[in-house]
């Protein structure tokens, strides 16, 4: 099995390095000693059943959440130990695509994409306009520049959020479920965009997604997380044919397997009252 042998990257090569991550939210342990590396210049997909903590993992990488133990290093810096100022400095170099877009409802599409530029770069209006329109063109929404977020569909909002995430040409882009709600044409467009950003600008990308077909087309590497740990990793094609119970369940779509389909609950029959009747 390739799992163990692959997991030995050169430390300097990894843009994101997670070591022994442990996190607890409320009474629930989300991560229980997670290790993974994201090589610089790669497109890495993170998969896992919903509720495993994929969004939480991205939040650790941007310092929105502090781990209880272990470390998350981005570009060599331990995110949890950064001062507020250094953290903001790091965030300027990271683009983040929120699961629900999180566009600023006060501003129209153009101003939403322009927002990071206006805050951090003192550009002449002409140049700023050119940059914003270029990014909007890349996601196919240049014509929607004057619309308000409330006038967009979910897929359009996602693409605007994507344009906003890449407006600064960051070193790292984190995509939280970018393909949800996209029609096949837009999906193609976004996939090509992710690939282009990666190829031409060398931008490292981490994407959380469930769409295996899409992932196969962009990702160099896939990490499968379940129960707070890394359970499988490898190139997309490789992973699909791995003979592990995790991958079989995940890619084969079997309800039975190491990942329970059901959220932990008392016995079904008991809760419906049958157990009592039987007794």
Partner 1 sequence: MSTNLRRHWMLQGIASIGECGLFFVAVLGAVPKSLRYWRELARQIWFVGAMSLVIVMTCGLFVGMVLALQLYYTLSIFGGTAALGTVVALSLFRELGPVVTALLVAGRAGTAVTAEIGLMRATDQLDAMSMMAVDPLAYVASPRFLAGLVAMPLLACVFNAMGIFGGHLVGVSWLGLDNGTFWGNMTSTVDLHKDVLDGLYKSVVFGGVVSLIAVFQGYTAPPTSEGVAYSTTRTVVFSSIVILAVDFVMTAFMT
Partner 2 sequence: MNPRPSYAIGTGLFILLGFAALAYLATQTTSVANIHRGNSYLIKARFQNIGQLKERAPVKIAGVRIGDVQSIALEPQRMDALVVMSIDKRYNDIPDDSSAAIFTSGLLGDQYVGIEPGGSPTFLKNGDEMVLTQSAMSIENLIGKFLVNGGPKSSGTDAAPASATPPASGKP
Ligand X SMILES: Nc1ncnc2c1ncn2[C@@H]1O[C@H](COP(=O)(O)OP(=O)(O)O)[C@@H](O)[C@H]1O
Report, in Å, the least distance between residue 103 CB and Mg ion.
18
Q: Which residues contact 232 (CB under 8 A, 6 or more apart)?
A: 3, 222, 223, 224, 239, 242, 244, 246, 247
| Cα angle value 67/69/70 (rounded, 5°) | 95
Minimum CB distance to partner 1, residue 69 (Å): 24
Q: Does 257 bind partner 1 (CB under 8 A)?
A: no
Which residues within the stretch 225-264 sit at the binding site for partner 2 (CB under 8 A)? none
Q: Residue 58: which of 178, 159, 227 has the closest Cα?
A: 178
- List binders of partner 1 among 158-177 (CB under 8 A): 164
Burial class (CB within 10 angstroms; exposed 0-12, middle 13-18, buried 19+) of 77: middle
Minimum CB separation of residue 94 from partner 1 in Å reads 8
Q: Which of residues 63-122 bind partner 2 (CB under 8 A)?
A: 107-108, 111
In the complex, what is the shortest distance from the CB of residue 158 to ligand X, in angstroms, rounded to a whole number?
16
Q: How far is CA 36 from the centre of its chain?
A: 14
Q: 55 touches which of partner 2, Mg ion, partner 1, none (CB within 5 to 8 A by kind)?
A: Mg ion
Q: Which of 5, 8, 50, 105 binds partner 1 (CB under 8 A)?
A: 105
Which of 17, 23, 44, 55 contacts Mg ion by CB under 5 A? 55
Q: Give the residues lining the site for partner 1 (CB under 8 A).
A: 62, 64, 88-89, 91-92, 94, 96, 98-100, 102-105, 115-116, 119-120, 164
């Amino acid at each position: 099995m390739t799992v163990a042998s692959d997991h030995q990257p050169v430390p300097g090569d990894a843009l994101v390095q997670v070591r022994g991550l442990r996190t607890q939210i409320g009474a629930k342990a989300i991560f229980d000693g997670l290790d993974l590396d994201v090589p610089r210049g790669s497109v890495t997909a993170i998969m896992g059943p919903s509720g495993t903590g994929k969004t939480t993992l991205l939040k650790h990488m941007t310092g929105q959440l502090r781990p209880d133990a272990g470390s998350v290093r981005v570009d060599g810096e331990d995110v949890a130990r950064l001062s507020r100022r250094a953290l903001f400095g790091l965030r300027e170099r990271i683009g983040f695509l929120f699961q629900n877009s999180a566009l600023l409802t006060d501003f129209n599409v153009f101003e939403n994409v322009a927002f990071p530029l206006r805050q951090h770069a003192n550009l002449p209006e002409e140049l700023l306009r050119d940059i914003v329109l270029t990014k909007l063109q890349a996601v196919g929404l240049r014509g929607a520049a004057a619309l308000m977020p409330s006038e967009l569909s979910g897929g359009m909002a996602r693409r605007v959020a994507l344009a906003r995430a890449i407006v600064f040409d960051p070193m790292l882009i984190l995509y939280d479920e970018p393909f949800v709600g996209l029609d096949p044409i837009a999906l193609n467009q976004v996939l090509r965009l992710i690939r282009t950003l990666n190829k031409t600008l060398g931008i490292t990308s981490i994407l959380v997604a469930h769409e295996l077909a899409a992932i196969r087309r962009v990702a160099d590497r896939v990490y499968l997380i379940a129960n707070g740990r890394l359970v499988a990793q490898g190139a997309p094609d490789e992973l699909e044919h791995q003979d592990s119970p995790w991958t079989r369940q995940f890619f084969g779509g079997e309800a039975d397997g190491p990942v329970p389909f059901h959220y932990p609950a008392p016995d079904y029959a008991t809760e419906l009252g049958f157990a009592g009747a039987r007794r």
